Amino acid sequence: MGQVPFLFRQKALTAVSGSTLRPGGLTLTESAVDVCGFDHTHFVLDAGCGCGTTTRHLWEKYQIRSMGTDISPDISTDMKWAGKKADPFSRGTGPGLARSRLPALPFKSRVFNGIFCECVLSLIPDKQTCLAEFFRLLKTNGKLVITDLYIPQLFENRIAPMRNIQPTSCIDGALTLMDLIRLIEGAGFKVDIIEDHTRLLKQMAGQMVFEHGSLNNFWDKVTGSICDNSLSRACKNGTLRPGYCMIIAGKYE
């Protein structure tokens, strides 16, 4: 723990993405809040919360009771604002924090009205178990919000032999939209909305060029073994161009 060279921990990326660690920042988070109708009466989980930016934003802007969970060893430092006294299980209190490794989550069944999984599912090797866990945690009519990279269908046959068991970046564990939808529905969800937001990924690429001079300079600043993975290497050399999407699904029983 703490030694896996995940791309989102790299300073070369955080210089561009800031604390949200994803394309578009909080743009899709806020859009999902509106679409799902989340408000102060709801309890929402930020699964794989990273620095906890979404967790905090949900509380501060919308007064939504929120709980962030992540395994990062830096989470205690990054989320000092959460505070030991915050108890989101009680109405009127601030956001909470729990350290756990997906897909194992230390909560009772049917406690959340919504779950945000933002640029995280692609990093989970056992996506099927993770989605089943999300389904368990949601109340009836609860909403699952997923934002993540995806592999365009035309690349699928080419990248199949390149896949690694342990992803170190979102691209390594990304699926095609069809495979992602199949997994989500296989866990019991009904997909309500699928939106393509590849433009936000392109905007981030433009920001990388502005910050580092070129995309090659960005990749050269990435340390560790991240680019050793075949899909990351394919993305680096331009033979793979991923997309970016938001999927909102419901638990209807």
- What average pLDDT does the segment 215-236 reach? 67
Would you state the pLDDT for residue 131? 98
Would you state the pLDDT for residue 135? 98
Would you state the pLDDT for residue 35? 97
CA distance 17 to 10: 11
Sequence spans of domains, the chain = 7-250
- What average pLDDT does the segment 143-158 reach? 87
Q: What is the pTM of this model?
A: 0.85
Query: What homologous superfamily is domain 7-250 in, according to CATH?
Result: Vaccinia Virus protein VP39 (3.40.50.150)
Residues in the chain: 253
Average pLDDT in the chain? 81
pLDDT(180) > 60? yes
Would you state the pLDDT for residue 84? 45
Would you state the pLDDT for residue 162? 59
CA distance 32 to 38: 9
Q: Which two structure tokens, joined as six digits, stand for 215?
A: 């995309």
Mean pLDDT is lowest, of 4-18, 112-126, 166-180, for 4-18
pLDDT(55) > 70? yes
CA distance 72 to 223: 18
